[in-house]
Amino acid sequence: MISPTEETACGRRRGGHGTPGPPVYVARHAEPPWATRLLGVEWSRAAGGETGYREAGHAVTDRVDVVVRRSADHTVVAASGSIYFDTHEALKETLLALAAEEKPRIVLDLSGVDLCDSSGLNMMAQTHLMATRHGGWLRLAGVQPIVRQVLDATHLTRMIPLYDTAEQADDAAG
């Protein structure tokens, strides 16, 4: 008996009653033909053999690098990489720990972030809400155009102020 999510040799999943499901594309397959045309992304294989989508010219990464710089009145958290559900944990832990402090003032520098999925957006919203509850704030800086589009589409830009650079956010913090 085939389980509801078992992949068959033909690249299709079978439904719970043995009926063929819709075609699926998994990491071992070549790029889905519609991906570049409709999504504006490329299929890529990283040096370690990982495959996935990427924006043209950017490597597939399996983590987000995080650098924290504290000053007297605020903290800058610089992230680099692609923020996805399986890469954002270190950044999330850092931001939520800072937001739990009394009167947290956090600048999240996204100048090194090329892509962000819904888990990253949720992380930003959680950080903002927690910082606000503790009498502080979260500000975003250096947001790349593709990430900005997602922030605008989800209306997070109405909640969280954006700045062109971390320095501008720093100046506004003072």
**CA–CA distance, 46 with 49 (Å, rounded to integer):** 5
Residue 75 confidence class, pLDDT cut points 50, 70, 90? very high
Which of 27-36, 57-66, 75-84, 100-109 bottoms out in mean pLDDT, i.e. has the lowest? Answer: 27-36
Judge whether 94 and 104 are in contact, CB under 8 Å: no
Mean pLDDT of 66-77: 90
* Domain boundaries, given as residue ranges, for the chain: 12-55, 65-173
CATH: 3.40.50.2300, 3.30.460.10, 3.30.750.24, 3.40.309.10. Which one for 65-173? 3.30.750.24
State the pLDDT at residue 68: 92
pLDDT at 8 over 90: no
* pTM for the full predicted model: 0.65
Nearest to 21 by CA among 3, 45, 34, 48: 3
Q: If pLDDT is split at 50, 70 and 90, which confidence band does 21 have? A: very low
The residues, ordered by sequence, that sit 6+ positions from 158 with a Cβ below 8 Å of its Cβ are none
8 Å CB contact between 84 and 94: no
Task: Report the mean per-residue pLDDT for the chain.
Answer: 74
The confidence score (pLDDT) of residue 172 equals 80
